[in-house]
């Protein structure tokens, strides 16, 4: 209790202050962050310095405008377009998937139907039969493209993480080499290597453990103008019994172009897999771990921000042109008559915002948007937040504990944690998450917040849990109007170490809101509420050495 007295006192003060705008309460929250950060740094000055985070200098915090109800019936989250492009779409083009099997079958179907491009970004590609079937689908589509009359412009671009994709003798690289050798002009495989793994650190840290320093964690699966956004990787368990989230965007060329350009930008600063299983950088590009780190990060920042800013400019011009013609009564604009035929697209009722987080490159858009959403959620609003790995950053924890919305946080029980039953040190990771969960629960109880902040554990026999994101229900609403879906886990790694991307989907359409609500309900139905008795169960026993080590290594998993 004494050790936690400072931050707890700050949070109690924070809870008494009005939270309508980012004012004094937010300032106190940031002071609490600084106190906690200083305490953590002092506790970690030890032999663990070798594995200390190799982070870029802190980027100054820029507060996004608080949301408000906009004029002309526009939705209240349009402030996000000050940071990223805004894509207006019809909700009829969006489908929420519910199961790994549905995700896998849809991917195979989409690959086979693709005519122009297949773009894949994932942490890794597994080496089993189901993964091989995906590769075979890509190969068949490439063969068919060559049989068409005239030169083929069909392209396949795959972005994976270098360390995870190179693990073991049979790995993601060996799975993709046949495609590279047979279709060298049409297939590109890029392997991102974090600039923070270099020098002595790279020499000393063994395989598997080197993945703790930083990863390419974005998950995007794109086929012509159709996009699947998810937190799932390309491995057999994600196709069978590992629960995640998935949303399918159909006939969305602007969104598909954006993510194609984003994957290309990251690919340009990544190692390129060659047909002999070697890797090399593109000509003239700074090497991620042999070249100057600052120069590399500056180039990477510039490439990614060029994609974001160019898309923002295009979308702003598109919206200005659309609204200008609309105000002039242009007869060529789509009409709202539901009986009208043809290929006219309905006016958008849903808006999609890509949120990028690449702290090694100084890009913190997702962090800024997430913090603002948590800060500005009013009393009576409900936030359902889920993560397969419960290890929230201090800033996110302070916002959950210090703001006024109601929270239901869904996390993995030890038995459905992806590391459950693993060999060696990795087998203790579920216990470390139990310890972190118990600490957070204790703080909730200490602050008397049990009625407002509730923890739930997902449990399902024979399954593991990997779902992440949030659903926001405005005060008085029974359906969510916003969801975040993608790769981030809301933890230190997601914010500081890895490359992440998710989208904010804001919708006024009741049918899509109902889809999102049903998705949330189906996940939470398989959970139990966490109470003090939860941690008295034998499966929640945490060994002393795990308790001692967890504070030192929690920022690495």
Tell me the pairing of strands 220-223 and 117-121.
Answer: antiparallel
Tell me, what DSSP letter sits at residue 277? Answer: S
For residues 158 and 179, give the distance between their C-alpha atoms in angstroms, rounded to a whole number.
Answer: 11
Question: What distance, in Å, lies between the first and last C-alpha atoms of the chain?
Answer: 26
Comparing C-alpha atoms, which of 246, 244, 236, 212 is closest to residue 464?
Answer: 244
Q: Taking phi first (over 0 means left), then psi (-120 to 50 degrees means alpha), and beta for anything else, what does residue 462 get?
A: left
List for the chain the helix, strand, coil content (%; round to 5).
45, 20, 35
DSSP labels, 112-174:
HH-SSEEEEE-S-B--SHHHHHHHHHHHHHHHHHHHSSS----EEEEEEEHHHHT-SSS-HHH
Residues in the chain: 557
The residue annotated as part of the active site, out of 75, 108, 202, 224, is 224
219 tagged catalytic: yes
Comparing C-alpha atoms, which of 201, 299, 262 is closest to residue 499?
Answer: 262
The residue annotated as part of the active site, out of 93, 219, 293, 466, is 219
Q: Give me the helices (H) in 377-497, please.
A: 394-402, 429-446, 492
Q: Which residues contact 338 (CB under 8 A, 6 or more apart)?
A: none
Tell me the pairing of strands 94-97 and 246-249.
Answer: antiparallel
224 tagged catalytic: yes
For residues 189 and 22, give the distance between their C-alpha atoms in angstroms, rounded to a whole number.
Answer: 44
Residue 313: half-sphere exposure toward Cβ, Cα within 13 Å? 6
Burial 385-396 (b: 16+ CB within 10 A, else e): bbbbbbbbbbbb
Tokens (6 digits) for 501: 């991307």
For residues 316 and 313, give the distance between their C-alpha atoms in angstroms, rounded to a whole number.
Answer: 5
Instruction: Indicate the SS3 state at residue 557.
Output: coil
Residue 221: φ, ψ to 5°: -130, 115
Q: Give me the helices (H) in 158-235, please.
A: 162-165, 172-182, 199-204
The residue annotated as part of the active site, out of 193, 217, 293, 496, is 217
> Which residues are part of the catalytic machinery?
217, 219, 224
């Amino acid at each position: 209790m004494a050790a936690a007295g400072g931050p707890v006192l700050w949070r109690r003060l924070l809870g008494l202050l009005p939270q309508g705008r980012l004012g004094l309460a937010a300032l106190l929250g940031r002071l609490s962050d600084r106190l906690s950060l200083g305490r953590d740094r002092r506790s970690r000055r030890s032999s663990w310095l070798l594995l200390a985070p190799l982070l870029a200098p802190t980027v100054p915090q820029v507060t996004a405008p608080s949301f408000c109800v906009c004029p002309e019936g526009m939705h209240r989250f349009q402030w996000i377009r000050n940071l990223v492009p805004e894509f207006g779409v019809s909700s009829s083009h969006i489908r929420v998937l519910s199961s790994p099997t549905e995700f896998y079958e849809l991917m195979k179907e989409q690959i086979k139907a693709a005519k122009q491009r297949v773009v894949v970004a994932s942490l890794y590609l597994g080496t089993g039969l189901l993964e091989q079937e995906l590769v075979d689908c890509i190969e068949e589509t490439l063969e068919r493209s060559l049989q068409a009359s005239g030169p083929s412009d069909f392209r396949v671009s795959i972005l994976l993480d270098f360390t995870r994709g190179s693990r073991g003798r049979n790995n993601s690289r060996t799975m993709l080499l046949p495609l590279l050798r047979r279709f060298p002009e049409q297939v590109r495989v890029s392997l991102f290597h974090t600039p923070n793994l270099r020098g002595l650190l790279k020499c000393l840290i063994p395989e598997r453990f080197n993945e703790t320093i930083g990863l390419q964690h974005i998950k995007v699966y794109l086929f012509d103008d159709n996009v699947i956004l998810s937190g799932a990787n390309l491995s057999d368990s994600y196709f069978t019994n590992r629960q995640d989230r998935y949303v399918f965007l159909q006939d969305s060329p602007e969104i598909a172009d954006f993510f194609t350009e984003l994957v290309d930008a990251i690919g340009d600063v990544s190692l390129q897999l060659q047909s002999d299983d070697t890797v090399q950088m593109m000509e003239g590009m700074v090497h991620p771990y042999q070249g100057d780190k600052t120069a590399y990060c500056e180039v990477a920042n510039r490439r990614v921000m060029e994609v974001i800013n160019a898309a923002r400019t295009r979308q702003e011009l598109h919206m200005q042109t659309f609204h200008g013609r609309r105000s002039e009564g242009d007869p060529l604009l789509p009409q709202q008559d539901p009986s009208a035929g043809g290929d006219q697209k309905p006016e958008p009722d849903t808006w999609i915002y890509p949120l990028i987080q690449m702290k090694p490159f100084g890009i913190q858009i997702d962090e800024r948007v997430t913090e603002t959403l948590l800060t500005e959620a009013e009393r009576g609003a409900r936030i359902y937040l889920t993560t397969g790995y419960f290890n929230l950053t201090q800033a996110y924890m302070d916002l959950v504990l210090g703001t006024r919305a109601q929270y239901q946080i869904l996390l993995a029980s030890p038995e459905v944690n992806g590391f459950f039953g693993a060999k060696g040190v990795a087998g203790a990771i579920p216990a470390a998450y139990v310890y972190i969960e118990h600490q957070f629960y204790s703080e909730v109880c200490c602050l008397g917040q049990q009625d407002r902040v509730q923890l739930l554990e997902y449990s399902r026999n024979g399954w593991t849990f990997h779902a992440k994101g949030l659903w926001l229900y405005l005060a008085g609403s029974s359906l969510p109007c916003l969801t975040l879906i993608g790769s981030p886990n809301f933890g230190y790694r997601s914010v500081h170490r890895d490359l992440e991307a998710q989208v904010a989907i804001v919708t006024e359409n009741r049918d899509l809101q109902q889809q999102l609500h049903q998705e949330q309900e189906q996940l939470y139905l398989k959970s139990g509420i966490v109470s003090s008795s939860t941690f008295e169960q034998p499966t929640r026993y945490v060994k002393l050495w795990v308790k001692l080590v967890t504070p030192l290594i929690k920022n690495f998993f």
